[in-house]
Amino acid sequence: MTRKEDLRMLRGRGRFVADLNRPGLLHAAFVRSPFAAARVCAISTSAAREAPGVAAVFTAADLGDPCLLATLERDEFVPTPMPLLAGDQVRFAGEPVAVVVADDAYLAEDAAELVEVEWAQLPAVTGIAGAVDGAARQVQAGLAGNCLVDLLMFDDQRLDEIFASAPLVVGGVFTSARVAALPLEGRACLADWDDRDGQLVMNVSTQVPHQVRSAVAQALGLPEQAVRVIAPDVGGGFGLKCVVGREEVTVAAAGLRLRRPVRWIEDRQENLTASFHGHEQRYQARAAFDATGRLLALGADIDCDVGAYSAYPFTCAVEPLMAASELPGVYKVPAYRARGRAIATNKAPTAPYRGVSRPQIVLVMERLMEKAARALHADPLQLRRLNMIGPGEFPYTGVNGITYDEGSYRESLDLAERRVAESGWRAERDELRAAGLAAGIGYVCFSERTGYGTPTMALRRMRMTPGYDTAQVRMDPTGEVVITTGTCGHGQGHETTFAQIVADRLGIHPDQVRLRQGDTDLTAYGWGTFASRSIVIGGGAAARAADLLADQLRQIAGSLLEASAADVELHDGSARIRGDNRAAVPLSELARIAYFQAHTLPEPLRYGLEARASFDPPGTFSNACHAALVAIDPGTGAIRLRRYLVVEDCGVVINPLIVDGQVLGGVTQGVAAALLEQIRYDGEGQPVSATLMDYLPPTAADMCRVDIVHLQTPSAFSHTGAKGMGEGGMIGAPAAVLNAINDALAGTAAEFDHIPVLPEDVSRALAAGSAGAVPAAALAGEGTG
Amino acid sequence: MKDMHRISLRVNGREHELTVEARRTLADMLRHDLGYTGTHLGCEHGICGACTVLVDSGPVRACLMFGVQADGTEVSTVEGLSVGEELSDLQQAFSDHHALQCGFCTPGFLMLAEAYLAERGSAGSGAATGDGPHAPTEAEVRELIAANLCRCTGYQGIVEAVLATARARRAAAGPADGP
């Protein structure tokens, strides 16, 4: 089924925040720090206030002391209140210190240039190594070693002994660069005070409308009912918009004070420098194996460069917590130790960008497998099979305390290997090699926890613990249906898939079902769309509510047809008695009677057709095996992706087109993380990838065709049997590409344990290798600077 | 003092006269002065191509052109692609091949591809055999749409949609009637 969303988007009739207009609309422009660290000695706004068209200029002194505060209820966690506008100190280049509100965006930007700030520059902390040095300046006052979180998640006391006596220990330093989520629509919001409703109405490009409402209410001291947040069409998010930005709350404050509509549209430079990044991590990891290749122990020190502040509501602990708790992945690890730290630096804060630590932990495990196989002269895929949670072992509870539900780990690897063999990959690789290129094939095996509610989220101990969601399903008097959900799709096609789920249960066509989402006044409190949760949790709640509504319809039909409700089935728009095709009532007729002839029904069946249900599951693991074929030009170092295969299992597939779309988009982001994308700062903390000429998202020419094969192992932990699958592409692709690169360069001195691998990395490594000087280990971890 | 200019242009066949500030971009003018909000701004420095519109049939970045420069031109935007409520063949192919997710970049890709397909259809570029252009290859279409950025789809659906539309238009034109 093609998507309901497409019709308006294809005709240019989508409605994004920047498309909205209001009489008297004002435009906001932020004045931002040019320095990574500085004291703000003085701000003069008088010239800006006098500029043409300016309605107001606000600084921290004008707004008082509101802030965004994300909190983890753990002793090891240091909260970092993020002021709406920085007051006496700035902590990253791009941090806002003032906002100008004017009649149009051009005038607001003109006036922003007239705000004069007297800065006293401070030394900047720009990387993990420098930050943890005892002599480093503290990014936040009182922060020893600039460490915001330090968690020893698992600490098997036998570990050192196992490593000391193991036949084989492999390890390394594994790093991934800071990257940007980069939705094509940047952040955006419009705040408009409504006198009639006594409400601040905010249209926000967000994945989490209710959390924006909570943030605005908490920061500005309002009851939540005084704020309504609407997410209109949202131009991509990828996690960037599952946190709340200070700009959004600042615009709310401006709208409240001015009692006029105020809009802010983030520009691309702001998006690349002053929003949120992710994935900048360093792993010092090692694994012990016995002589047959069986894993004995795993240990990792995990450091995440999280920037200057914790993002609301998830906190900066989201990356180290995810990494430390899920590192073992699809492998059976008998003994485990992991320490995860969040390190503050004078860089933009980080948010849970697509994948959240899983691309990195998968990369670490898959590199360790390859290193062990090489040391043991073993087949790397056999080594994986030997250590993988196998058929018959599900549900499997790992050393990390996580229970993995039924998956197809072994089958997906077997199938991927077979497809690679049958579709001529090796012949193509050999042809490339014959043509003078380096060429190699890489594999990756992984699972992905999705759709986890409060039972799992609570382990993080967030003050705001997400997870459940609630749906309402209502049939109107014409027999058509409206669903409301607290999830908030922004490109995933939820208007289509939720309609499919509910229509299926009511025996009607999806075109008869409309989804309402992204409006805090229309839906129950919900947690939006992130962490591959929506189809499992939001879709599960909708399915449950639809089941309740179906029961009501069956009872009404039973009462009209003088049959037992249990004998009534809903099919093809009608209620009918099972096995009796003559006795059928159209649902539209049932709906008409339910609303307009309510007095004819027994009391419990009167007064409308609607049901509400919630869902709060523990989570379910989808899984996949990816394979990549790359070709490398040894002369230029250029790396090209030639073939890509995904064998994935997300349980019951609701809509194949949409599932494939998620895989394709995710793989492309993952390939780009392996080969292209890198947010760079110089030694003073100046962002030097501030435009799309310096930061390189992938284009169509960087990608090859991606072949996708589906396995379907239904989940027992989701109401529909579906597993989440929004991130898997991104999780697997970096390691698959990295393994392919290393396979291509096997036999040279080059071995890479970092992403992205750039052409200059290859050239440098090959040059060093031919000089016979630098061992491969010296190259590891040098990628992110 | 604002530097204002009186200009006239046609957008999707409709005549517009307006007064516009010299520094106002074509994109802002189309979106905010004339109400064609289907044209989106993704980077405002000419890289992402979300704002691609056709000026006198050629694709341009509306963020890199001033409104006044469009004086006397014929501009086509995404709003003009479909006839009534009916999707064009290219739009329908985008839906069929899941060539869009969030939809923000979509208008730019549609306009870029439409210009390419129209040019091939009328000018007979490619093989100089007199029987029309060769069917575009996947590599050619990837090269073309590498002009624009999409963060959701991984481009595969867009490539397929453009290829399918090109094939269908060639078939409809027929080998003997090719331009």
Q: Which residues of B touch A186 (CB under 8 A)?
A: 42
Picking from A106, A660, A692, the nearest residue to B48 by CB comes out as A692
CA A494, CA A508: separation in Å to the nearest integer? 17
Quick check: B154 and A9 CB within 8 A?
Answer: no
Mean pLDDT of chain A: 95
DSSP state of A178: -
> At a CB cut-off of 8 Å and minimum separation 6, what does A644 contact?
A626, A627, A628, A629, A667, A671, A704, A705, A706, A707, A733, A736
Picking from B79, B103, B154, the nearest residue to A665 by CB comes out as B154
pLDDT of residue A776: 40
> At a CB cut-off of 8 Å and minimum separation 6, what does A5 contact?
A493, A495, A496, B103
Quick check: A233 and B102 CB within 8 A?
Answer: yes
> At a CB cut-off of 8 Å and minimum separation 6, what does A129 contact?
none
**A569 at interface of B, judged by CB pairs closer than 8 A:** no
pLDDT tens per residue, range A754-781: 999 999 999 999 998 875 443 443 333 3
Q: Which residues of A touch B39 (CB under 8 A)?
A: 12
pLDDT band at residue A580 under the 50/70/90 scheme:
confident
pLDDT tens per residue, range A312-363: 999 999 999 999 999 999 999 999 999 999 999 999 999 999 999 999 999 9
Could you tell me the CA-to-CA distances from A72 to A78, A83, A143, A686, B114 in Å, in that order? 8, 18, 16, 30, 51
In B, minimum Cα distance to A183 occurs at B151
Could you tell me the CA-to-CA distances from B25 to A253, A513, B33, B66 in Å, in that order? 30, 41, 11, 4
pLDDT tens per residue, range B23-56: 999 999 999 999 999 999 999 999 999 999 999 9
- Residue A96 inside a domain? The answer is yes
pLDDT band at residue B2 under the 50/70/90 scheme:
confident
CA A495, CA A488: separation in Å to the nearest integer? 10
If phi > 0 it is left, if psi is from -120 to 50 it is alpha, else beta; for residue A619 that is: left
- Residue A322 inside a domain? The answer is no
Same domain for A572 and A490?
A: yes
**A431 at interface of B, judged by CB pairs closer than 8 A:** no
Say what the alpha-carbon torsion angle A576, A577, A582, A585 is, to the nearest 10 degrees.
-30
Same domain for A438 and A480?
A: no
Quick check: B95 and A7 CB within 8 A?
Answer: yes
Boundary-marking domain end, from A248, A265, A282:
A265
- Residue A409 inside a domain? The answer is yes
Produce one character per residue of A169-204: b if its CB has 16 or more CB atoms within 10 Å, e if not: bbbbebbbbbbbbbbbbbbbbbbbbeeeeebbbbbb
In B, minimum Cα distance to A493 occurs at B101
- Residue A166 inside a domain? The answer is no
Return the axis-axis angle of helices A209-220 and A246-258, rounded to nearest 10°: 60
Q: Where are the alpha helices (DSSP H) in A239-393?
A: 246-258, 268-273, 318-326, 358-376, 380-387
Quick check: B48 and A184 CB within 8 A?
Answer: yes
pLDDT of residue B133: 66
Helix (H) or strand (E) holding A262: strand A262-265
pLDDT of residue B123: 56
pLDDT tens per residue, range A659-705: 999 999 999 999 999 999 999 999 999 999 999 999 999 999 999 99
- Residue A463 inside a domain? The answer is no
Same domain for A588 and A606?
A: yes
**A23 at interface of B, judged by CB pairs closer than 8 A:** no
Q: Scan residues 65-94 of A and list those with Cβ closer than 8 Å to B.
A: none
In A, minimum Cα distance to B94 occurs at A10
pLDDT tens per residue, range B130-173: 455 688 999 999 999 999 999 999 999 999 999 999 999 999 98
Same domain for A436 and A497?
A: no
Domain(s) labelled CATH 1.10.150.120 in chain B stretch across: 89-173
Query: Burial of A374 by CB count in 10 Å (0-12 exposed, 13-18 middle, 19+ buried)?
Result: middle
Picking from A12, A492, A703, the nearest residue to B77 by CB comes out as A12
Could you tell me the CA-to-CA distances from A271 to A183, A247, A690 in Å, in that order? 9, 12, 8
CA A624, CA A708: separation in Å to the nearest integer? 10
Count how many Cα atoms sit within 13 Å of the Cα of residue A465 in the half-sphere of its side chain. 13
What is the DSSP code string of B36-94? Answer: -TTS--S-SSSSS-TTEEEETTEEEETTSSBGGGGTT-EEE-GGGSSBTTBPPHHHHHH
- Give the rounded percent of residues in chain A with a pLDDT score beyond 70: 98
Chosen from B98, B148, B149 to mutate, greatest number of chain A CBs within 10 A: B98
Mean pLDDT of A109-114: 98
- Residue A128 inside a domain? The answer is no
Same domain for A496 and A394?
A: no
Name the minimum distance, in Å, from the CA of B123 to any CA of chain A: 25
Quick check: B105 and A184 CB within 8 A?
Answer: yes
For residue A769, what are the domain limits?
Answer: 351-453+618-779
Q: Which residue has the higher pLDDT, A589 or B129?
A: A589
Same domain for A744 and A630?
A: yes
CA B89, CA B77: separation in Å to the nearest integer? 16
- Whether the complex's predicted ipTM surpasses the cut of 0.90: yes
Read off the pTM. Answer: 0.96
**A53 at interface of B, judged by CB pairs closer than 8 A:** no
């597993």: which residue's tokens? A723
Boundary-marking domain end, from A561, A583, A615:
A615
pLDDT of residue A785: 31
CA A323, CA A279: separation in Å to the nearest integer? 11
Boundary-marking domain end, from A564, A583, A615:
A615
Question: B60 pLDDT exceeds 70?
Answer: yes
**A41 at interface of B, judged by CB pairs closer than 8 A:** no
- Residue A94 inside a domain? The answer is yes
CA A363, CA A341: separation in Å to the nearest integer? 18
pLDDT band at residue A582 under the 50/70/90 scheme:
confident
Query: Rounded to 5, what percent of chain B is helix, strand, coil?
Result: 35, 15, 45
Cβ-Cβ contacts under 8 Å between A and B: the total is 176
Same domain for A109 and A16?
A: yes
Same domain for A628 and A601?
A: no
In B, minimum Cα distance to A236 occurs at B102
CA A610, CA A471: separation in Å to the nearest integer? 11
Picking from B37, B91, B105, the nearest residue to A10 by CB comes out as B91
Determine phi and psi for A419, rounding to 5 degrees.
Answer: -60, -40
pLDDT of residue A99: 98
Same domain for A674 and A594?
A: no
Task: Assess contact for A326 and A106: CB atoms under 8 A.
Answer: no
Residue A236's nearest CA partner among B37, B153, B112, B96 is B153
pLDDT tens per residue, range A281-324: 999 999 999 999 999 999 999 999 999 999 999 999 999 999 99
CATH of region B89-173: 1.10.150.120
pLDDT of residue B84: 84
What is the DSSP code string of A546-611? Answer: HHHHHHHHHHHHHHHHTS-GGGEEEETTEEEETTEEEEEEEHHHHHHHHHHSGGGS-GGG-S-EEE
Domain(s) labelled CATH 3.10.20.30 in chain B stretch across: 4-79
Question: A35 pLDDT exceeds 90?
Answer: yes
Quick check: A18 and B82 CB within 8 A?
Answer: no
How many independent structural domains does chain A possess?
A: 3
Count of residues for chain B? Answer: 179
- Give the rounded percent of residues in chain A with a pLDDT score beyond 90: 94
- Give the rounded percent of residues in chain B with a pLDDT score beyond 90: 84
Same domain for A489 and A414?
A: no
Instruction: Give the CATH superfamily of B4-79.
Output: Beta-grasp domain (3.10.20.30)
Q: Which residues of B touch A10 (CB under 8 A)?
A: 78, 81-82, 87, 91, 94-95, 100, 103, 106, 110
pLDDT tens per residue, range A1-16: 999 999 999 999 999 9
Task: Assess contact for A204 and A231: CB atoms under 8 A.
Answer: yes
pLDDT of residue A581: 75
pLDDT band at residue A583 under the 50/70/90 scheme:
confident
In B, minimum Cα distance to A727 occurs at B152
Chosen from B37, B141, B151 to mutate, greatest number of chain A CBs within 10 A: B151
Q: Which residues of A touch B86 (CB under 8 A)?
A: none
Helix (H) or strand (E) holding A144: none
Same domain for A486 and A534?
A: yes
Q: Scan residues 516-545 of A and list those with Cβ closer than 8 Å to B.
A: none
CA A101, CA A107: separation in Å to the nearest integer? 9
Residue A183's nearest CA partner among A242, A246, A248, A264 is A242
Name the minimum distance, in Å, from the CA of B30 to any CA of chain A: 11
CATH code at position A770: 3.30.365.10
- Residue A163 inside a domain? The answer is no
**A341 at interface of B, judged by CB pairs closer than 8 A:** no
Question: A263 pLDDT exceeds 70?
Answer: yes
Q: Where are the alpha helices (DSSP H) in A650-758?
A: 656-675, 728-744
**A183 at interface of B, judged by CB pairs closer than 8 A:** yes
Same domain for A472 and A598?
A: yes
pLDDT of residue B126: 45
pLDDT of residue B177: 46
Q: Which residues of B touch A18 (CB under 8 A)?
A: 31, 37, 40-41
Quick check: A691 and B47 CB within 8 A?
Answer: yes
